[in-house]
Chain A
Amino acid sequence: MRWISQLQMRAQMLFGRGRASRHLDDELQFHIDRQIAENRAAGMTADEARYAALRTFGNRALLREQTRSTWSWRWAESLVRDFRYGFRALRRTPGFALSAVFVVALGIGANIALFTVFRSVLLKPLAFKEPDQLVTLFEGDSRHRGFHNYLPVDAGSFFQWQSATAGRAEMALVSPWQDYNVSADSGKLPEKVKAAWCSANFFSILGVTPHLGRGFTDEDDRPNAQATVILTNAFWMRRYGGDPAIIGKTIWLDAKPFTVIGVLPQSFVFSTSFGGNKLQLWTPVRHEAPPFLLTTFSDHEFLVIARLLHGESLPMLVDQLGALQKRIQLSHAEGSVHDGAQGRSMLDDAVASYRTPLNALLAATCCVLLIACMNVAGLLVARSAARSKELAIRSALGGGKFRLLRERLVESLMLSAGGGGLGMFLAWAALQWLVHARADMNRIEAIHIDAVVAAFTVAIVGFCALSSGLIVALSAGGKNVLSALHDSSRAHSAGTGRVALRRFLLVSEVGLTVVLLVGANLLLKSYQRLRSSDMGVPIENVLTLQVDLPTARYKQPVQQVAFFENLIAQVRAIPGVQAAGLVSTPPGEGWNGDQLMSVVEHPPLQQRDWPDIHIRGADPGYFDAIHLPLLSGRVFTSGERLERANVVLISQLAAKALFQDENPIGKHLRSQNGDTSYEVVGVVGDTRWDAAQPALPTLYWPIYGNNYSFATIVVRASSHAEALALPVQKVVASLDPDLPVYGVMTLREAIGNSIVDSQFDSMLVLGFAVIALLLAAAGLYGVLAYLVTQRTTEIGIRMALGAQRGQVLRLVLADGLRPALYGLVLGLVGSIAAVRFIRSMLYETKPLDPAVFANVVAILLVTAAFACILPAWRASRLDPIQALRTD
C-alpha cells in the first residue's frame, strides 16, 4: 500500500533528515568508489582513476542539492533555514533588533489593550438572559430643558405605560440613586451604602436568579409588607464574610429592620447612564418609596427597564409610549410633566458616555501602530540598503526574487512576533492598571483578555510583519544588480531610490504624529478649562462630610434640627476650623433636587411655565464657610427655623429668571409642591452644580426645618483641610455612635472626581502623542544620518570646491526638514478633518482652535530641528580630504 510507505517516508524525512543527509553522502561516495575501482581495473593509476571518476561524476554538491530537492518537507526545511539566518542576522545587530522589537511592542500593546476594552465594554452583550431584548426607557421633553434628552420617569406615567403595553413588553421600575445607613452590628462600623429600589419583577425581567435565597415577589412589593432586602454579592462578601446563614437574618437600614431574603450572583452588575455599578442593596420600590412618589406625574425618580416580547421593536414601542405621554401631559395641568418618551438598548445606555472617547482612543492607537510599523519598515529598508551588495551577489548567483523576499518577510515576522509577545505583556499590565484606576467606569468588570483578543494579536502581528516586509521588498527591486556590484560607491545610485521610500514613510509618520498632537492638545486644553472652571466659590481648603439621619430614630423635625445645631456648634469649636456650615449639597456635587417656583406677587402663570429652580438647604453659617458672596439683602437668622423657616436666599440667575430686573427682596415665592410662601430676604452669587455644566438658578432655604434629615458639613480651614476629617468624625460619633459619615473629601477632590473622564482621556492621548513624536523624531534622525553617510563624497567635493561649513549645515538641515514640513502640512489637513469627531469630548474648546494648531506646528518644528541638527552638524564638520577618500 503506497500511502503507508509514503507516510513512512514523510515521517522519516521530518524526523530523520540529518541521518538521511549522511546516508545520501555515503551513497554518492559508494558510487564514486565503485567508479574508481572500475577505472583502476581498466588500467589507470590511482590518481588518474580518481580524477576520471570525479570528472564523470560531476559537481557533487549540485548533485546532492538536486537529489535533496526531491525530498518532501522541502518548504519546511527552507523556512527553518530562513528563521535561523534571520535570527543570526538580528543577533549581529542587537541594538537595531531590540529597538525595533520595542517600537513594535508599543504599537501592538496599545492596540491590544484598547481593542480588549473596546470589545469588552462596547461589543460584549450584557450578562443577562437574552440581553438584546432588554431596553431602558426614559421620558423626553420637546421643550428640551436639559443637557440630554434621556430624562428619568415618574411613577404615574410608568403605571399607565405598563398597562398600555401589557402584551408587548414587560416593564419594571428601578431607582438606582438611593442610599441607606447600614447600622453597626456585631462589631462592624455603621456605613452608608448606595442602593436601588426596584419592582418585584425587576430581576425576573433581567433573567437573574439569586445566588442564595430568593428574589422579590409581589407580596414583598406592597407598602405594608414586611421589609425585605436583597444584598449584592460584593456587599455580602465584604461585610458578612460570605456567610450563607445571612438569609433570614435582620439587618438595620436607616434604623429600621429589614429581612435579608437573597444574595445576588457575583456576575450581576447593573449599569445605566445614571450610574449604578456601585449599588450594594436592593429593596422593593412600593415598600420604600413614599406614597406620593408612586402616584405623582411631576416628580421623576425612576428609570424604567423593559424586556421586549416576541419580535417587538424598540422604535415602535417608543412611539407608542411617546404618544401616550403626550396625552398624559395634556391631561395634567401641573408643571414639569414631560411630553415624550425615549428609549435605548440597555447596553447602549450603559456605555453611552464612553462611545466617543473609546472611538477616539482607538483611532489614536491605530495611528501609533501605523507609525511603529513605518518606523520598523524604515529601519529594515536602511538595513537592506546596507546589504545591497550581498543581495546583488545572491541574485547574480541565481537567487530567486521570491526567495529573497521571503527572507525579508521572515525577518520582519520575527521582529513583529517579538514585539507582539512583549506588547501582549504590556497590554495585560496596562489593563490591570486600568481596572484599578478607573473602577468607576461602567462595564469595567467585563474587561478580560480572551481567545478573540489572542486572535486579534496574531492578526496584528501578521499585519505588521507583512506591511513592513512588503515595503522593504518593494524597495529592493532587483534592478541594477550590476551597478550594485561595483566596488566604487561613487557610481552607486541605488541608495537614492531607497531614500525616497524612507522619505515617503517619514512624511506619513510626521502627518500621523501631527494629528495625534492636535488631538492631545485639544483634549488637554479642554481638561484645563474644566479643571479651572469657575465654580462660583473658591475651592481650596474646604472639606465636606455627609451625614444622613435615619428617620426611624429621628422621627420629629425638632429632633433632626436639634442634632444638626448641636453638631455644627461642636464642629465650629474644633481648633483649626476657620468656618463651618451645613448645606444639603455643596457646589459641584450633583443635581440633587429642583422645583418649579412662581412669584406670589406676579400675575399667575401656567404651572408648566414656572422656572425650574435648584433647591438647597443651608444654615446661616454656610455662606460664610463656602465664601459665597452676599450681593444684597441678608442671610437667615438663627431664629428662622422649623415653623418659621419660610425665608429664602436666591442666586443671581434665579433673581433674573423670577424677577427679571425688579428688586426681589421682600417678595414671596411659592413652589409647585405646596401652598407655603417663602419670603426672599437676600441675593447671593451663582455656583455650579457640576464642573462641566453651566450654573442654574438656585435658591437656599433654611436647613433647620423644611424636612431636611440629611446634610453636608462644610468646613473651611486656613490650610490642609483634610486634617480636620478625623476630628469632625469624632464629633459625629460622640453625638450618635451609629451614624456613618460618608463622602469625606475636599471640594477640590469632589470636583476632580466629576471630571476624571476628561483627565483620563487627555492623559492617554497625550501619552500616545508623545510616543508618536519620539518615534517620528527617531525616524527623522535615522534617515538624515543615513543620507549624510551616503552623500559623504558629495559633501567632500562641495567643500573642496569652496562651500562653507555653514552652507553645508543649512543644506543638510533643509534636506532633513523637508519631509518634516510636508508631513506637517499633511497632518494639519488631516487634523482639520479629524477633530470634528471629538467635538463631544471638548469643553469650552473649539475644535479648530488656532492657538492649538500654532502650538503643534511649533512643537513639531522644534522636535524636527532637534532630530536633524546632529547629523547636519556632523556633516558640516567633515574633513573634505577624508570625505573624498571614503569609499
Chain B
Amino acid sequence: MGKPNDLVQGTLDLLILKTLLPDAMHGWAIAKRIQQLSGEVLQVQQGSLYPALHRLEQQGWIKAKWQESETGRQAKFYALTAAGRKQLESETANWNRLSAAINLIVSEA
C-alpha cells in the first residue's frame, strides 16, 4: 500500500478491528497477522498503522493495556471494546455493500 488516503484509511480501520476480534495483540503482531491472513498481499506500513491505532484508541473503539509480551518485554496490547465490536459489524456490512457494488460495475465491462 502506498500513502494512506481516505478510502484506504477506512479500510485499514476495518482490518485492524477484525484482526483484534479474536484476542488482544500489540502493533507488531497486528501488522504480521494482517500480512499473514491476506496471503502476503497486504503489507501495512508503520506510517499508517500506528496513527490508525492511536486514532481508534482516541475514538474509543479499542482500548490499550501495557503487559508483558511473548518475548518478555513490556508492550502495548490493544483489545476491542464493546462499541468497537458493534462498529466492526457495521463497517463490515458497509464494506460488503460497497465491494458488491464495485464488483457489479467492474465485472459488467
Contact = CB atoms under 8 A, between A and B. Distances in A.
Do A and B bind? yes
Interface of A: 1-3, 5-6, 9, 13, 23-24, 26-28, 30-31, 33-35, 37, 56-58, 62-63, 66-72
Given A2-B81, A30-B75, A31-B27, A9 B46 contact: no
B99 interface: no
A62 to B, nearest CB: 8
B60 A3 contact: yes
A44 to B, nearest CB: 18
A67 B54 contact: yes
Contacts of A23: 66, 76
Interface of B: 26-28, 45-47, 50-51, 54-55, 57-61, 63, 66, 69, 71, 73-76, 81-83
A1 B60 CA distance: 9
B47 A2 contact: no
23 contacts: A2-B60, A2-B61, A2-B83, A3-B60, A24-B54, A26-B76, A27-B26, A27-B75, A30-B69, A30-B75, A31-B27, A31-B46, A34-B28, A34-B71, A35-B28, A57-B46, A58-B47, A66-B47, A67-B51, A67-B54, A68-B54, A69-B51, A70-B54
A72 B58 contact: yes
Contacts of B54: 24, 67-68, 70-71
A24 B53 CA distance: 11
Contacts of B51: 63, 66-67, 69-70
Contact of B63 (A5, A26, A35, A67): A5
Given A5-B81, A34-B28, A67 B50 contact: yes
Nearest to A3: B60
Contact of A9 (B26, B28, B60, B69): B60
A30 B60 contact: no
B63 A27 contact: no
B55 A70 contact: yes
A467 to B, nearest CB: 37
Contacts of B45: 58
Specify which of A62, A67, A69 lies most central, judged by the most chain B CB atoms within 10 Å of its CB: A67
Contacts of A24: 54
Given A6-B60, A70-B58, A31 B81 contact: no
A63 B28 contact: no
A9 B76 contact: no
Nearest to A68: B54
A1 B57 CA distance: 13
Nearest to B61: A2
A27 B82 CA distance: 24
Contacts of B69: 30
Given A2-B81, A70-B51, A31 B28 contact: yes
Contacts of B26: 27, 30
Nearest to A64: B50
B76 A6 contact: no
Contacts of B81: 2, 5
Nearest to B43: A56
B58 A63 contact: no
Contacts of B50: 27-28, 31, 63, 66-67
Contact of B47 (A37, A63, A71): A63
The interface residues of chain A, by DSSP majority, are classed as helix
Contacts of A71: 54, 58
Contacts of A33: 73
Contacts of B58: 6, 9, 13, 70-72
Contacts of B74: 26, 30
Contact of A27 (B27, B61, B83): B27
Contacts of A34: 28, 71
Contacts of A28: 46, 50
Given A9-B58, A67-B51, 18 more contacts: A1-B82, A2-B59, A2-B61, A3-B60, A6-B59, A13-B58, A23-B76, A26-B74, A27-B26, A27-B75, A30-B28, A30-B73, A30-B74, A56-B46, A57-B46, A58-B47, A66-B50, A70-B54
Nearest to B82: A1
A568 B81 CA distance: 105
A68 B75 CA distance: 18
Contacts of A68: 54
Nearest to B62: A5
Specify which of A6, A31, A35 lies most central, judged by the most chain B CB atoms within 10 Å of its CB: A31
Nearest to B27: A31
A2 B51 CA distance: 20
Nearest to B69: A30
Specify which of A5, A6, A23, A56 lies most central, judged by the most chain B CB atoms within 10 Å of its CB: A5
Contacts of A62: 47
The 7 closest A-B pairs by CB, nearest first: A2-B83, A5-B60, A70-B55, A2-B60, A6-B60, A34-B28, A70-B54
A13 to B, nearest CB: 8
A66 B58 CA distance: 14
A95 to B, nearest CB: 45
A801 B63 CA distance: 76
Contacts of A27: 26-27, 50, 75-76
B76 A58 contact: no
Contacts of B73: 30, 33
A9 B81 CA distance: 13
A42 to B, nearest CB: 14
Contacts of B83: 1-2, 5
Contacts of B60: 2-3, 5-6, 9
A551 B50 CA distance: 101
A40 to B, nearest CB: 13
A443 to B, nearest CB: 58
A24 to B, nearest CB: 8
A26 B74 CA distance: 9
Nearest to A31: B28
Nearest to A27: B76
A31 B28 CA distance: 6
Nearest to A62: B47
Nearest to A33: B73
Nearest to A9: B58
Nearest to A34: B28
Given A23-B66, A66-B51, A58 B59 contact: no
Contacts of B47: 58, 62-63, 66
Contacts of B59: 2, 6
A35 B49 CA distance: 15
A34 B73 CA distance: 11
Contacts of A37: 71
Contacts of A63: 46-47, 50-51
Contacts of B55: 70
A461 to B, nearest CB: 34
Nearest to A6: B60
A69 B94 CA distance: 27
A34 B83 CA distance: 31
Contacts of B82: 1
Contacts of A69: 51
A679 to B, nearest CB: 106
A31 B32 CA distance: 11
A28 B27 CA distance: 9
A12 to B, nearest CB: 10
Given A5-B81, A70-B54, A70-B55, A58 B75 contact: no
A63 B49 CA distance: 10
A731 B75 CA distance: 102
A5 to B, nearest CB: 4
Contacts of B71: 34, 37
Contacts of A6: 58-60
A35 B69 CA distance: 15
Nearest to B75: A30
Contacts of A5: 60, 63, 81, 83
B35 to A, nearest CB: 11
A37 B51 CA distance: 23
A582 to B, nearest CB: 93
A56 B26 CA distance: 18
A37 B69 CA distance: 14
